[in-house]
Structure 1
Amino acid sequence: MSRWHRCSIRGRLTVLAGIVMAILCTAVAIFAMVMVRQAAIEHGSDQLFARAVTMGGQARLKVPDLRKHPDQTIQILDPDGVVATATPDMAGRPRMSNVRPDVDAFAVTHTCDGQVFPGRCRIVLVYPFHRHDGVWKLLMAAPGVPWYVGPQLLIPVVVGWVLLVGVAAAGTHRIVGKALEPVYDISGNLARITADDLGHRVPAPRYRDELRGLVETVNRTLDRTQSAVQQQLDFASDASHDLRSPLTAMRTQIEEALMDPRHADWLRTANALLDSVERMQSLIGDLLQLARLDTGVTGNREAISLTELVRHELDRQPRKVTVDHHLASGVTVDGDRIGLTRLLNNLLDNAERHAASAITVTLELHPGTAVLQVCDDGEGIAPEQREAIFKRFARLEASRARDPGGTGLGLPIARQIAQLHGGTLTAEDSPHGARFVVRLPLAPAPGTL
């Protein structure tokens, strides 16, 4: 990983703010120096023009002796373009400029010709003037303007550039630090949360901003995590209790037989052990099913005729009580065949355990929903207990009396399968007995999304 990626958000933003401000300041400085330089060149040109007008007026009457002007840089060309006279610093040198303006105009150039001005740049003005023998030219030069104009401009620009970039970087560093202080607090609070202290929550900031939304999301996630962990702990506790019961019974039966092995009824003992093993096998199967459902693992989803599935299961497995059914045709859902079969059989097994003489299975087609009802003519379920029966390992007194070997996982598994299919399973009112209602979304029609 590069050093940039290892840098903190605060550091990266500080560097970026400094770079952006440096680019802006550089652009502004270049623009300002170009404008000031252009203004300086125009000012120098104006001064040259003023002097040229004065000297040109004198030269119309008499060509002056430029040796008397050692502090200036001047050349005068005759009508043939030959240097007629020049100041001492231009004596013997080529013409300062070859520009040929109109006879009634003038021209200004900025030249750095090494032959005329070695190592220097000059502003050169070409000013034509008339004499009796033709058009002469007055060439005057002034010191050129460097790109930085001068120290009086360059030093303030450099100092201002450094100050602005420094202030921008320092300000960004401080502002980002202040903005990230709640994030540091959140990180510190989250670091104190351990597996043994899932009840701790992150305090919400005072202001309703993005950080408050983040804290609320984190706290909701912690609530779900705590609920899931508590559910797993309760599940493990209940599972261990239900597994110990058949194991304890098996151990007791074996120990009793071994106390007097010659007179023990091993056939009766084996049958008793077989009952305990079957109960353990059923319980372990239910636990594995719950583990798969908790992780959201389902089989292949496909369009399934719920009508045919229910009819096949009712015909396949005979029951100890009468089973009546009323099945609507053409009811199709999108789901896992094995899971839906398990859901139906769990409801039928539960109804069979509690029915007095009959079970009624109804499948109806409602708008967008398939409604499956399994009813029995037993004692029914009290309204205050209709949610309790869907808790894992929860068994009512009537259920324990009818089936002591039950696991209390059939209905929870059935509800979880319904929920994984986007549906619901509820215990609802019934004139007599219990009525379980499954609602599942219908499969989309072919050709639709």
Structure 2
Amino acid sequence: MPARRSWSVRTRLTLIAVTTAALSDTAVTAVALYFLHDLADAYYPGEPVPWYVHPGLFAFLVGMSLLGVVFAGVSAYRTVAFALLPVNAITSELTEITSTDLGRRVPVPEARDEIRELAQTINQALDRLEQAVERQRRFASDASHDLRSPLTAMRAQVEEALHYPEDVDWGPKAQAMLASLDRLQAIVADLLTLAKLDAAAPSARERIDLGRMVADELDRRERRVTVVRRLEPRVTVAGDPLQLARLLTNLMDNAERHAASTIMVSVSAHEGKAVLEVLDDGAGIAPAQREVVFARFTRLDAARARDAGGTGLGLPIAREIAQAHGGSLVVEDSSRGARFVLRIPLARRASDPGRPSGRPPGRAAAG
């Protein structure tokens, strides 16, 4: 059964105003007639005075009451219509917003009233919706962008084996297909990590000695190049240990792919921030490309191009993790190679909530 259409807000408010005016006018007319009766009784004592003692005055009172009701109804209708103009504008703009055009926003009235608050709340909801849709689009774009390469390579290898089975060396062919599968698995894992970071899902926060964590992670890595450590102790941050370990792993993987022979890793505290630096002695990154490297699936020039081991998502993931911890990850100047600098807030001491943990910068501890 379809829902019965109710009256509009304008109609309901007008009826309330008319009803209120009618009741008020009736009360005023009754009071006026009562005093008119007393006045006539004062002038004609001892004589009965009927309610219609002055028909002309009575008609005037009734007519003015009816006119007041009509005036109240018209005024209420027009006043409510004027007051609802911002609501009509908001409704009109909302009907024009589609999933492919989420950049539009409803107009915000200048008057500081409830309608202004409503418009601001709607715009904030549209901001969140646009960000969510943009995250979905980015994930779909990322997924389709680089998944094609390993899938195309595997398809070509399988088709070659089917067409020329007698000429296929199955050992190298299997190794090539396994390498494509490994790359595909790495891309899928990175895409899932990005999806979780994009969703801004809350993660567990622990007090972490950043220097000790970096030392432990470096100890677990296979040595491909010389790694120089300058790790200051007691630099404590509040964060997700798995995410921060992943951030360091991505920075180290990137540095190892481009280092000529040496990587320097340092941890220090400065101006209320924990600072992690990873510096390689490779070709370096041009200033114009220092933000480009954090874009997903970015390919730089030949000197810094990612090799077959990279997915093009390591540095974007590292920056997302840094931002999720209230920090930043940038490429800064260096005399040689690329210098990635992470800054995240120091954890506050339990005994002193207003003062961050970690000592001032001092002599670095070699690790």
1:72-100 Cα offsets, whole Å, 9 max, x none, are xxxxxxxxxxxxxxxxxxxxxxxxxxxxx
Secondary structure, in 3 states, of the residue corresponding to 1:164? helix
1:180 and 1:263, CA in 2 relative to 1: closer, same or farther beyond 3 A?
same
Secondary structure, in 3 states, of the residue corresponding to 1:195? coil
Secondary structure, in 3 states, of the residue corresponding to 2:342? strand
CA distance in 1 between counterparts of 2:225 and 2:349 reads 37
1:401 and 1:428, CA in 2 relative to 1: closer, same or farther beyond 3 A?
closer
Q: Which residue of 2 aligns with 1:387?
A: 291
1:272-308 Cα offsets, whole Å, 9 max, x none, are 1111011000000111111111111132233333333
1:187 offset after TM fit, Å? 3.0
1:339 and 1:234, CA in 2 relative to 1: closer, same or farther beyond 3 A?
closer
1:16 offset after TM fit, Å? 3.5
Q: Which residue of 1 aligns with 2:77?
A: 173
Q: Which residue of 2 aligns with 1:187?
A: 91
Which of residues 150, 157, 162 is equivalent to 2:66? 162
> Which amino acid in structure 2 is aligned with residue 188 of structure 1?
S
1:367 and 1:17, CA in 2 relative to 1: closer, same or farther beyond 3 A?
farther
More strand by share: 1
Secondary structure, in 3 states, of the residue corresponding to 1:176? helix
Which of residues 316, 320, 329 is equivalent to 1:425? 329
TM-score computed with the length of structure 1 as normaliser = 0.66
1:360 and 1:16, CA in 2 relative to 1: closer, same or farther beyond 3 A?
farther
Q: Which residue of 2 aligns with 1:14?
A: 14
1:351 aligns with 2:266: no
CA distance in 1 between counterparts of 2:339 and 2:291 reads 13
> Which amino acid in structure 1 is aligned with residue 12 of structure 2?
R
1:226 offset after TM fit, Å? 6.2
> Which amino acid in structure 2 is aligned with residue 385 of structure 1?
Q
Structure number, greater radius of gyration? 1
Which of residues 332, 356, 366 is equivalent to 2:236? 332
CA distance in 1 between counterparts of 2:325 and 2:21 reads 57
CA distance in 2 between counterparts of 1:222 and 1:334 reads 32
1:156 and 1:217, CA in 2 relative to 1: closer, same or farther beyond 3 A?
same
CA distance in 2 between counterparts of 1:275 and 1:288 reads 20
Contact 1:299 1:338 (8 Å CA) reproduced: no
1:379 and 1:153, CA in 2 relative to 1: closer, same or farther beyond 3 A?
same
Secondary structure, in 3 states, of the residue corresponding to 2:207? strand
1:34-83 Cα offsets, whole Å, 9 max, x none, are 54455445x25xx54xxxxxxxxxxxxxxxxxxxxxxxxxxxxxxxxxxx
Secondary structure, in 3 states, of the residue corresponding to 1:325? strand
Contact 1:4 1:12 (8 Å CA) reproduced: no
CA distance in 1 between counterparts of 2:243 and 2:161 reads 42
1:366 offset after TM fit, Å? 2.6
Q: Which residue of 1 aligns with 2:144?
A: 240
Aligned pairs for 1:295-334 within 5 A: 295-334=199-238
1:243 offset after TM fit, Å? 0.7
Greater shift after overlay, 254-263 or 181-190?
181-190
TM-score computed with the length of structure 2 as normaliser = 0.79
Greater shift after overlay, 213-222 or 265-274?
213-222
Contact 1:235 1:392 (8 Å CA) reproduced: no
Structure 2 residue ranges without an equivalent (≥5): 355-367
Q: Which residue of 2 aligns with 1:268?
A: 172
1:189 and 1:446, CA in 2 relative to 1: closer, same or farther beyond 3 A?
same
Contact 1:246 1:276 (8 Å CA) reproduced: yes
> Which amino acid in structure 2 is aligned with residue 300 of structure 1?
A
Which of residues 48, 63, 69 is equivalent to 1:143? 48
Which of residues 248, 266, 272 is equivalent to 1:362? 266
With CA pairs under 8 Å and 6+ residues apart, which has the higher RCO, 1 or 2? 2
